[in-house]
Amino acid sequence: MSTFFRGPVCGTDNCRSRLWRIIDGRRTCQYGHVMEGDVEFNDDEDDINSMGVITRRLNLTTNATGSFRSSMSSQSQLNQKEDANQKVYGVEGERLFLRCFQHILKLQCTWLVEHQNFPPVFADVVKLMWMRFLKSLEVADRRPTAGDDSENTSTEILERKPRLSLLSSICLLYMANTHLRVPIHSCDYIRWICSMELVYFKANLHLPAPWRKQLPNYYHQILEGGKTPSEGQFFHKLAHMCSVVQVSSCFSSYVSYEALTLKLLFAVKLPPQILFDVKELITISGDDDSSFCLYENHRERVQRLYLCADLRVAAYFILAVRYKILQNDPFFVNYCLAWLEVEGFEDSPATTEDLVTKLSHDAASLPQNNHHPWSDQQTTDYLDWMEKHFLPASTKTQTETQTIDHRIASKKLYSMFPLDRAPAENAEGGATRPSYVDKIQETYLEISDALAHGVRVPRQEQTPKLAQLTEARLLREISYRFAVSQPQLRECLAHLQTRICKTRNSTNCAS
| Co-location of 195 and 318 in the same domain | no
**Residue 233 falls within a domain, yes or no?**
no
Confidence of residue 82 (pLDDT cuts 50, 70, 90): low
| Co-location of 511 and 367 in the same domain | yes
pLDDT at 123 over 90: yes
9 torsion bin: left (phi>0), alpha (psi -120 to 50), beta (else): beta
**Residue 398 falls within a domain, yes or no?**
no
**Residue 494 falls within a domain, yes or no?**
yes
| Co-location of 42 and 129 in the same domain | no
Which amino acid belongs to residue 226? G
pLDDT at 105 over 90: yes
**What's residue 368's pLDDT?**
47
* Domain residue limits at 475: 262-392+435-511
pLDDT at 45 over 80: no
pLDDT tens-digit readout, 406-452: 778 878 887 887 765 444 444 444 445 566 677 777 777 777 777 77
| Co-location of 91 and 33 in the same domain | no
Judge contact between 450 and 338, C-beta under 8 A.
yes
- Listed in sequence order, the residues at least 6 apart from 60 whose beta carbon sits closer than 8 Å to its beta carbon are 38, 68, 69, 71
**What's residue 419's pLDDT?**
64
| Co-location of 200 and 274 in the same domain | no
Confidence of residue 458 (pLDDT cuts 50, 70, 90): low
* SS3 state at 294: coil
| Co-location of 371 and 481 in the same domain | yes
| Co-location of 379 and 464 in the same domain | yes
pTM of the predicted model, to two decimals?
0.72
Percent of the chain's residues with pLDDT above 90 = 24
- Number of domains into which the chain is organized: 3
Q: What is the mean pLDDT of residues 372-397?
A: 68
| Co-location of 222 and 329 in the same domain | no
**Residue 56 falls within a domain, yes or no?**
no
**What's residue 312's pLDDT?**
93
Which is it for the CA torsion 77, 82, 84, 85, positive or negative? positive
Counts of helices then strands in the chain (DSSP H, E): 21, 6
**What's residue 10's pLDDT?**
86
- Listed in sequence order, the residues at least 6 apart from 352 whose beta carbon sits closer than 8 Å to its beta carbon are 227, 228, 230
| Co-location of 92 and 32 in the same domain | no
**What's residue 448's pLDDT?**
77
Q: Within a 10 A sphere around the Cβ of 164, how many other Cβ atoms?
A: 19
**Residue 244 falls within a domain, yes or no?**
no
| Co-location of 496 and 377 in the same domain | yes
**What's residue 7's pLDDT?**
86
pLDDT tens-digit readout, 315-351: 999 999 999 988 888 888 888 888 888 776 554 454 5
Confidence of residue 138 (pLDDT cuts 50, 70, 90): confident
**What's residue 321's pLDDT?**
92
**Residue 250 falls within a domain, yes or no?**
no
Cα(257)–Cα(312) distance, rounded to whole angstroms? Answer: 9
| Co-location of 339 and 488 in the same domain | yes
Cα(285)–Cα(281) distance, rounded to whole angstroms? Answer: 6
| Co-location of 310 and 168 in the same domain | no
